[in-house]
Amino acid sequence: MVAYEPWTVGNDGVGGRAPASDRKFVVALARGLELLRAFTPSEALLGNHELAARTGLPKATVSRLTYTLTKLGYLAHMERLGKYQLAPAALAIGYSTLANMRIRRVAQPAMQEFANHAGASVSLGTRDRLNVIYLEHCRCPSAVMLRLDLGSRIPLATTAMGRALMAALPQNEREWLMGHLARREGERWPAIKASIEEAVSDVAKRGFTVSVGDWHADVSAVGVPYIATDGSGVFAFNCGAPNFQMSRARLETDIGPRLVNMVRNLEVALDSR
């Protein structure tokens, strides 16, 4: 059996995996990056104790890492609170990544037009372990929706976008993820597994999958996957709104087919550039 460092999997259940015997793998670097990953839009201020709990790293290791990352400008220490937050050097990496994503630049105008038509929100995301992370987000000015924006994370297993992403993955990778999801979800897993399998079938048949109240009881959404032909990754688009604004019938007969058409047009536009 191959031994793995516990932290390479991450407390959220799945991440990069590196054999402990891999001499090319730089453990200190990986631990530092794992620490930076702990900060989220909803948890922007974290202390050493919280970082140790989130990463599974020893407190002494966390203390050395936060000291080093602060000296390098990736973290800022809020002395009054005894906590850290991401600093400009870390933000520069993220914004450089977003700025160089061709799919964002090409998709944004079409996404905004779609959001205005639907009177809802339209987002672009990709998988981040057992979550989906938003890479772009457009909303109709009059839309009533959850406050989600760039960098926001939503569950992989219970959202239309997450299930669309899973449907687009190779079967062996999807099964590997489902194994991790099963361990995390416990008693909820049989129902969630059935919903994922239904989504895989729906995407194969009609190009989209629907989630009505599966993530939040009052939120409905449709998801469509996109596999970049340039090898840059697997993505998904969603369109969502409150249940009172977006019925299942509208999702299945109007929003879903239109979103599939938008994604197909984007495929042509991206391939021609």
* Cα–Cα–Cα angle for 138, 144, 145, rounded to 5 degrees: 60
Is the confidence at residue 173, as pLDDT, over 70?
A: yes
Q: If pLDDT is split at 50, 70 and 90, which confidence band does 10 have?
A: very low
Determine the Cα–Cα distance for residues 47 and 67; give it in Å rounded to an integer. Answer: 12
pTM for the whole thing? 0.82
Is the confidence at residue 216, as pLDDT, over 50?
A: yes
Q: What is the pLDDT of residue 64?
A: 97
| 101-271 classified as CATH 3.40.50.720 | no
Q: What is the pLDDT of residue 111?
A: 97
What is the rounded average pLDDT of the residues 177-190? 94
Dihedral, CA of residue 232, residue 113, residue 136 and residue 123, to nearest 10 = -90
Is the confidence at residue 19, as pLDDT, over 80?
A: no
What is the Cβ-side half-sphere exposure of residue 52, based on CA atoms within 13 angstroms? 10
Name the residue ranges covered by the structural domains of the chain. 6-87, 101-271
Percent of the chain beyond pLDDT 70? 90
- Looking at every residue in the chain, the average pLDDT score rounds to 89
Q: Which residue has the higher pLDDT, 152 or 142?
A: 152
Please tell me what DSSP assigns to residue 255.
I
Lowest mean pLDDT among 6-20, 116-130, 202-216, 241-255: 6-20
What is the rounded average pLDDT of the residues 139-153? 76
* Cα–Cα–Cα angle for 141, 143, 147, rounded to 5 degrees: 95
Percent of the chain beyond pLDDT 90? 72
Q: What is the pLDDT of residue 147?
A: 67
Q: What is the pLDDT of residue 144?
A: 64
Determine the Cα–Cα distance for residues 272 and 230; give it in Å rounded to an integer. Answer: 11
Q: What is the pLDDT of residue 83?
A: 97
What dotted CATH number matches 6-87? Answer: 1.10.10.10
| CB-based contact 253:118 (threshold 8 Å) | no
Secondary structure, 3-state, 129-184: CCEEEEEEEEECCCCCCCCCCCCCEEECCCCHHHHHHHHHCCHHHHHHHHHHHHHH
Determine the Cα–Cα distance for residues 14 and 46; give it in Å rounded to an integer. Answer: 22
Buried b (16+ CB within 10 A) or exposed e, 137-148: bbbbeebebeeb
